[in-house]
Structure 1
């Protein structure tokens, strides 16, 4: 269980997280939702011990993440927004490295790597260099490392950013699977992602918690009035007569349908009023067929916009329409009479590859070099550079696609390892 108490984080005069408190119960998938800049990633980093709070406390199963970090972090697996991968390692080497860093050894290490590889379906890629993998596979390797050590809590920060639709579907399925054995906290600003996988939602805006509940309860608490929609075959005067006699109705709107004699009715009722039984019975006694009778629920998008005090989609479209002339005028006025293209200076210093700023000496060529370096500093850890064949994870080609051409990727692997 995670307890966040009066958490605050300030950067100089800016407050990123402002006195927030909430509790994460075991066995659920929590959605951490909010617009960009709401404080989601900052809160995640504090919960995982990667960032110190200005004030407040975070308890992981009773351990203070600031005062007792080693004990608290044993319960957490974390995937940051940018996965902490070593591009010159293979997934197998990388997972072995992370497992040993978490204190795993021998049969337990092999067993957990096997499980992580199988669960994330990276078996066919385990001996390929990480830098040659697609973004989707890199994300899976990141999730696999978060699973090592069998943590009770898995925290994922924006796990589907930059993925294509099929990869997103796969990652969402993987998150649901993780939720069967772990408490999962998923940070995202993608509404459909939260509604698809989460049991509980915590919404942040401006560094504060503005809502914390299930999606069903949140949709009912956004406003006091509720709307019921129905479709009935009856004369308009009959409809008005029935509706005027039912308590709890504050207003209604009757509109014609394409079918003669059939009408749609939009009924606004008082808070917590449920008049469906009474409506159906009243029209049934008159012999008026009811084709539809259902409450109108507030969409997650509308709920999010209201809770975060964001403009509605209609207001955005209206604003774009109203300001279209101003936008074009601003482009026309760039640097007076000169064309914008004439003001763009491009300095050609050679091929783009020469300007990447990549230092080939920045990291070890293989994990074996890391082990050798450890030996020189007196570390007794066993050499893990052999990359023994661990795990027989399978991948379903119908569900996922590999962005790299297989033959080209294998050539890159051979060149990089030579």
Structure 2
């Protein structure tokens, strides 16, 4: 953790008497997209607001490239870009005016402001809208402007709070593509409640429930957090569920899916497929297909939320 880009140590925060976040620690080692998951009220927004410097934590420390965010906030915030769930846009300014003002607020040297604005306009594919009032932009392009202000000072760490919320399917795909491009040379912490989005773009996942960190690992580890316990089979002779329960060892349940298709649930899948094949041959069920089923992301999320 010594060489971490971001280090969160024993982070806790209390509103009045209730702890929103309690003793959370994790590490963001380098570039890539990190998904932050959690139920409503789990502590995600509190964590992101503290990490962006918007909120002062009750306990714990946050280091950005080794800089303590509480003790040296100005230097630490030079490395942070933040897009809240509702983009902080001044809708009566043009895109150019707004981003120029953002560059000034980020202490970019005056003679480099225009170049910085031009660069993010191109990066976010909004150059052709630079003279348009922000209020006249669609939701998707407003999000692009919001992302542009978050990266204009070239921070090493970017926090995006539900960046695709309220967008149509095409806009969502475009914003996901943009986030992937941004993450090629920096770290992005992405909060979302859309599990398919996590699977589509995140490299690693952090999950907070009831203010505590309940999972930290690669997306593949999240997928495989629950061991599968069922297989789908296609038996052309269509035996009854009762016959299957009697003859297949370890079988705990049968779900008839229509026609010759069944879902077989086991307490332990070790050797289950071999047993199904043997019994099919023995009883002439004419097994045509057998597939191991993976647990859905919703199943994993539900299990970790308990």
Q: TM-score, normalised by structure 1?
A: 0.63
**Structure 2, unaligned stretches of length 5 or more?**
none
Matched, 1:253 2:251: no
Q: Which of 131, 134, 149 pairs up with 2:135?
A: 131
The residue that corresponds to 2:302 in the other structure is: 305
- Pairwise CA RMSD: 3.0
Q: Which of 48, 61, 64 pairs up with 2:68?
A: 64
> Aligned pair in 2 of structure 1 residues 10, 241: CA closer, same or farther (>3 Å)?
closer
> Aligned pair in 2 of structure 1 residues 254, 302: CA closer, same or farther (>3 Å)?
closer
Query: Contact 2:12/2:24 (CA < 8 Å) preserved in 1?
Result: yes
Listed as ranges, the matches of 1:245-394 within 5 Å are: 249-251=250-252, 253=254, 255=256, 257-258=258-259, 262=260, 264-270=262-268, 273=270, 276=273, 278=274, 282=278, 290-309=287-306
The residue that corresponds to 2:25 in the other structure is: 21
Query: Contact 2:37/2:192 (CA < 8 Å) preserved in 1?
Result: yes
Query: Contact 1:234/1:263 (CA < 8 Å) preserved in 2?
Result: no
Query: Contact 1:6/1:21 (CA < 8 Å) preserved in 2?
Result: yes
The residue that corresponds to 2:118 in the other structure is: 114
> Aligned pair in 2 of structure 1 residues 243, 113: CA closer, same or farther (>3 Å)?
same
Shift of 1:113: 2.1
Q: Secondary structure at the match of 1:221?
A: coil
Q: Give deviations 1:190-236, integer Å, cap 9, x for gaps.
A: 333323221222222222222223343234334x5622222244674
- C-alpha distance in 1 between matches for 2:117 and 2:300: 41
**Structure 1, unaligned stretches of length 5 or more?**
310-418
Matched, 1:4 2:2: no
Larger CA deviation: 229-238 vs 9-18? 229-238
Listed as ranges, the matches of 1:135-154 within 5 Å are: 135-154=139-158
The residue that corresponds to 1:231 in the other structure is: 234
Mark the structure with the bigger radius of gyration: 1
Matched, 1:183 2:194: no
Query: Contact 2:266/2:272 (CA < 8 Å) preserved in 1?
Result: no
Shift of 1:158: 1.6
Q: Secondary structure at the match of 2:102?
A: helix
The residue that corresponds to 2:167 in the other structure is: 163
More strand, by proportion: 2
Q: TM-score, normalised by structure 2?
A: 0.84
Listed as ranges, the matches of 1:26-65 within 5 Å are: 26-65=30-69
Query: Contact 1:231/1:265 (CA < 8 Å) preserved in 2?
Result: no
The residue that corresponds to 1:89 in the other structure is: 93
- C-alpha distance in 2 between matches for 1:295 and 1:202: 27
Matched, 1:214 2:218: yes
Shift of 1:269: 4.6
Query: Contact 1:242/1:282 (CA < 8 Å) preserved in 2?
Result: no
- C-alpha distance in 2 between matches for 1:301 and 1:254: 20
Q: Tell me the number of residue pairs that the alignment of Structure 1 and Structure 2 aligns.
A: 299
Q: Give deviations 1:32-83, integer Å, cap 9, x for gaps.
A: 1122222111111111111111001111122111112223222221111222
Shift of 1:96: 1.7
Q: Secondary structure at the match of 1:168?
A: helix
> Aligned pair in 2 of structure 1 residues 263, 157: CA closer, same or farther (>3 Å)?
closer
- C-alpha distance in 1 between matches for 2:216 and 2:50: 19
